[in-house]
Structures are given as structure tokens and as C-alpha cells.
Amino acid sequence: MTNMLAGKVVAVTGAGRGIGKEIALLCARYGASVVVNDYGGETSDERKSSPAHEVVQEIEKSGGSAIVNVADISDPAEAASIVEEGVQQFGRIDAVVNNAGILRDRIFHKMSYKEWKDVIDVHLNGYFNVSKAAAGYFKEQQAGSYVHFTSTSGLIGNFGQANYAAAKMGIVALSNCIALDMQKFNVRSNVIAPFAWSQMTASIPAETEAEKRRVAMLKTMSADKIAPLVVYLCADESKDISGEIFSVRKNEVFLFSKPRPIRGMHRAEGWTPETIASDLHPAFSSSFTKLVRSTDVFNWDPV
């Protein structure tokens, strides 16, 4: 094991359990000082019992450096504290890992506005809040790395997750635009769609045989498999990688394509609804994409 992150300060949101915890632990093992963020709750007692405290203790017992942060990333001021406390304690911030998340699954026609807003506030707004807090520091030091977590629910699709999928696809666009806007400052931004069993995925329904098989498959994919790619994307060795979409599924790593035009058709006189029906629709139909779920695309067992 090398000290690939020696001297760097990495902030990880949602780092009290699951994927975030494994990322925080591995970043520390590779030499980083870590801001371990995990929202404890509304009350002071809830925040004192945040699992982030246990992760920090584990890092410190292994000789690493870490601090606890219990901010709610959906609140801009609290989100900013994640970066500010890292800078105050360790003198700088080098990478932000936006991992925190919640699920409020509901079939679309039954989804409430609150279920929609809660998920958007944590995932999309929260990732913006933490990223924005670090942007000034990254610009000033002419270096920095963002690693955001997306999902194949957004990239491909899934039942009952319109809120989550919309937020996760929005994060892909957010990351891409951060990569474009901050490229001149040597700041990079990438996303990862993880497959792993965690506290959040434990809330996935398992009623039908297909759902039970999906959950059983998820349980074979441990959270620690995601962390190595995150460490690499935070390290200087990945300085040429930005604006990309990765996925990790047990021992498999995938690179996703970005939306690009696949067909085109021109009419000098323009289009009418009738000519669209007679000419364009038949020409394009062979290139249309079927409605599928993530499990339809990743239809083999993880290896």
C-alpha cells in the first residue's frame, strides 16, 4: 500500500456507514486526513450518537487523522461547515466525496411532493452545497477533485424511484458542468454509480421473486469494493480524468457513455406533424431505446 493521498485532506459525506465509511477508512489508510461527515439528526443527542464518531475513532486507532462533522448537507450553511472545519483543522481541502443519500421510494402516481423534495434536497441540492463550499479553495490552490455518487437508477431507470433517479441524473450533469467550468483551475469532477449493499439499499422492497433475487444479489456486493476507485480519483495520479461516469459492481468497473446524437434527418422545407409520422418516425424507430430497468442491463451475476 502506498501513501497515494499523503498530505491531502478529503471530506466524505454520509461516511458513518456503508460505502461512505469504507471510503473514509481507505482514504485514511492511503495517507489522507479525513472529514467524516454523517448527519446525526435534529437534536444534540442524536448528533452526539452519529456513527461518524465511531469511524473517526477507528481511523485514529490505526494512526490516521480524522474529525467528525454531523452537518445536514441539504442546508447550505451546514454543508459549508464540512469544508470549513476541514480547512480549520488540517489547513486545506483537496477532495470532496459526495456520497450521502436517502431513499423515499414510491410509484410515481402515488409519490408525494415531500417525498420528491426530501430526496432532491439531500442528493442534488446537498451535493451542490458541499461542492460550492470547496470551489473557492480549489480555485485558489489551482487543484482539487470532486467525486460524486450517481446511480444506475438515473443512468438507466428503475421502478418507484422518480425522485432518486432524477436527482442522480442531475448529479451527472452537475459534475460534468463543474468539470467544464473548473478545468482551467486544474479541478476535476467525476461520478460513480455504485452497486453495494448498505443501510440505504436495505430499504429496497423485496416482495416479488424478482425483487428478492435483486436484493440477494446486492447483498453479495460489499461496500469496500467501491472505495479503491474513489481513492484513485482523489489522487494526483488521476489528474487527467474529469467529467467521466464510472460504475463499480463487486470486482467489475465500468465506464459509461454520455448522451450523444445517434441519428439525424433533414428536410429542406422543414417538418410537419404529417411528415414526422410518414418519414421521421419510421426512420428513427429502429434506433429507439426500450424502457428497461437497471437490472435488465446488468442481467448477469456480479463477479
Taking a C-beta distance cutoff of 8 angstroms, is the pair 232, 261 a contact?
no
What domain range includes position 125?
A: 9-259
CATH number at residue 220: 3.40.50.720
Does residue 296 form part of some domain?
no
Does residue 53 form part of some domain?
yes
pLDDT tens figures, 126-160: 999 999 999 999 999 999 999 999 999 999 999 99
Residue type at 24 in one-letter notation: A
Looking at beta carbons, which pairs linking 198-207 to residues 24 or more positions away fall under 8 Å?
198/17, 198/18, 198/19, 198/223, 199/17, 199/18, 200/18, 200/101, 200/102, 200/103, 201/103, 203/103, 203/105, 204/103, 204/105, 205/105, 205/160
Average of per-residue pLDDT across 238-251: 97
Residue 197 has pLDDT above 90, yes or no: no
Taking a C-beta distance cutoff of 8 angstroms, is the pair 70, 16 a contact?
no
Q: What is the mean pLDDT of the chain?
A: 94
Average of per-residue pLDDT across 180-207: 83
Does residue 278 form part of some domain?
no
Taking a C-beta distance cutoff of 8 angstroms, is the pair 52, 11 a contact?
no
pLDDT tens figures, 81-131: 999 999 999 999 999 999 999 999 999 999 999 999 999 999 999 999 999
Residue 202 has pLDDT above 60, yes or no: no
Residue 211 has pLDDT above 90, yes or no: no
C-alpha cell read off for 59: 481511523
Does residue 1 form part of some domain?
no
User: How far is residue 126's CA from residue 247's CA, in Å, rounded to a whole number?
Assistant: 21
The radius of gyration of the chain from alpha carbons, rounded to an integer in Å, stands at: 21
Residue 284 has pLDDT above 90, yes or no: yes
Does residue 291 form part of some domain?
no
List, by residue number, the catalytic residues. Answer: 164
Average of per-residue pLDDT across 202-219: 69
Highest mean pLDDT among 47-56, 66-75, 215-224: 66-75
Does residue 283 form part of some domain?
no
Domain count, the chain: 1
Q: Confidence class of residue 206 from pLDDT cuts 50, 70 and 90? A: low
